[in-house]
Amino acid sequence: MNDLTVVVLAAGKGTRMKSATPKLLFDAAGRPLGTWPVGVALALHPARVVVVVGHGRDDLQQVLRTRFPHAPLAFAPQKEQLGTGHALRCALPLVPRSTRRLLVLCGDAPLVTPAPLRRLLARARGRTLAMFTSAVTDPAMYGRVLRDERGRVTRIVEHRDATPELRLVREVNPGVYVFDPAFLRNALRRLGRGNVQGEFYLTDVVELAARTANGVADLPVPFDDLRGVNNRAELAEAEATLLERIRRDWMVAGVTIRAPQTVRIEADVRLAPDVELGPGVQLLGRTTVARGTTIGAGCVLRDVAVARNAVLRPFVVATESSIGPGAQVGPFAHLRPKSTIGREAHVGNFVETKNTVMHPGAKANHLAYVGDGDIGRRTNVGAGTIFCNYDGFGKWRTVLGEDVFVGSDSQLVAPVTVGDGAYVASGSTIVEDVPPGALAVARGRQVVKPGYAKRLRARLAARKSRQHN
């Protein structure tokens, strides 16, 4: 739409969030709050999106440039917070002269979608102004929409300026407009600050538009799709709606979700058909899950790539890792960053990995820590094994070749390599490399003293008796 420019008003301080973090950088379903309306604006394919920035503007600009690196974005600083009318004044120098329709969105309204905006843009053709309106049960702090006897919109009265009688009006202004830019430029110059807050209200432009020959076109829409976020309670409500939309879209696309209301799937997650998610699953960041995978109850994955037909049993926690085709992980396993679990490898209960590669068919099924390791094909790591990878100053690597067997309760002190086909006896502490095919035993010899147990018990009992007397 080469004649369309979108302005996103994103300069507010968000004081009701009660945080040092700028409001538009708060997380909403895995994305910063301010990225949602900008993303919707870009979906309309405008010539330019002008973002009015103020509080935390450097951070917000960086976030938006990173997420939309090739988008036609421009940033207009609002150095003084003098109201929405003033914010739009700040944006006008960056609006191309070719613009015939100027769409204005609020930066803290993450629920708006492209479809109603397209209807509003169509409604705006040939009109001075087109705007959304919504009927609500509780208008709270929103501006009230006033109409004449013929039902035409005549003006907006902000809540703080409204009389008790006007506050009874239940039709409100969600703050989405499409302007004729030529009219808007002139109207903004005529705004005053004669109101309770001493600001330049953009809503005052509505009354000026209503006096023109083309007047105001309004489009009623459900308020739930347009409400803004002013505090953390409203952020939680908006996020719940976003997450519900995301879950529904994935279920329609062929994903099975058990107990959907307990499952969190963030916006940048990607799922294939025939994935099954158990209750309480959290898929975060840029996690991807391929077809046929089952993810059990309570698993938490962030930035994890899961290949086809993998099985994650309940309560797996994984971060910045990959899980290969047909692999089995869990229950209660922890994959820390840079863990690569190969095809049909097994990571069992209470096993922790970190910066570790488990090649196809490798297994660590019980109670092991295998940090900074390279575990070869079909190698078995026994229960209670520890890769001793940290010496207090640096991290070191443990390398196990193919078809290695590591007995239970062994410690491998890195850096160390165990060659293909070698055995490590249970209970060993390995501090030197083990050649391929060798057996390594590194433990004290067992000593048996016949009949000694009876004397030992007697001595211990006597000592205990003396302690109690």
Give the sign of the dihedral formed by CA 444, CA 446, CA 447, CA 452. Answer: positive
Nearest to 236 by CA among 423, 33, 35, 34: 33
Return the half-sphere exposure (C-beta side, CA atoms, 13 A cut-off) of residue 441.
3
- Measured from the Cβ of residue 88, the count of other Cβ atoms closer than 10 Å reads 28
Nearest to 278 by CA among 290, 267, 268, 293: 293
Q: What are the respective helix, strand and coil percentages of the chain, to the nearest 5?
A: 25, 30, 50
336-370 exposure pattern, b = at least 16 Cβ within 10 A, e = fewer:
beebbbbbbbbbbbbbbbbbbbbbbbbbbbebbbb
Identify the bridge partners of residue 104 per DSSP, sorted by sequence position: 7, 177
Pairing of strands 416-418, 423-424: unpaired
Catalytic residue of the set 55, 70, 366, 468: 366
- Measured from the Cβ of residue 297, the count of other Cβ atoms closer than 10 Å reads 17
Between CA 78 and CA 80 the distance in angstroms is 6
The CA R_g of the chain, rounded to the nearest whole Å, is 32
What Å distances lie between residue 326 and 318, 343, 347, CA to CA?
A: 17, 6, 12
468 as an active site residue: the answer is no
Helix (H) or strand (E) holding 224: none
Q: Name the token pair of 425.
A: 């006896």
Between CA 162 and CA 172 the distance in angstroms is 12
**Residues recognised as catalytic:** 366
